[in-house]
Structure 1
Amino acid sequence: MEELFKQFTSYLASGVEGAAAVIIAFAAVEATWRALQVFFARPAEPDEAKEGVRLRLARWLAVALEFELAADILRTAVAPSWNEIGKLAAIAALRTILNYFLQKEIEQNSQRQRAVSGPSPLQGQAAPGSADVRR
Structure 2
Amino acid sequence: MASYVALVIEIGAVIVVIIGGTQALWGVLGAVFTGQATELRGRQIWLKFATWILLALEFALAADILRTAVAPTWEDIWKLAVIATIRTMLNYFLAKDIAAFEAQDAVPGPPAKPVSS
Match for residue 80 of structure 1 among 72, 82, 101: 72
2:95 paired with 1:111: no
Q: TM-score, normalised by structure 1?
A: 0.78
Name the structure 1 match of 2:23: 30
**What are structure 2's unaligned runs of at least 5 residues?**
110-117
Matches of residues 26-65 of structure 1 in structure 2 within 5 Å?
26-43=19-36, 46-65=38-57
Equivalent position amino acid for 2:98 in 1: I
Deviations 1:84-128 (A, max 9, x none): 0000000000000001111000000111111127xxxxxxxxxxx
Name the structure 2 match of 1:92: 84
How far did 1:39 drift? 0.8
The alignment partner of 1:108 has SS state of: helix
Q: Find the aligned partners of 1:74 and 1:116 in 2 and give their Cα distance.
A: 45
Q: Find the aligned partners of 2:59 and 2:88 in 1 and give their Cα distance.
A: 12
**What are structure 1's unaligned runs of at least 5 residues?**
1-7, 118-135
How far did 1:55 drift? 1.0
Question: Matched residue pairs, number?
Answer: 109
Q: Find the aligned partners of 1:83 and 1:93 in 2 and give their Cα distance.
A: 15
Aligned residues with identical type, % of pairs: 40
Runs of 4+ in 1 over 6 A off after TM superposition: none
Q: Which has the higher contact order (CA 8 A, sep 6+)?
A: 2
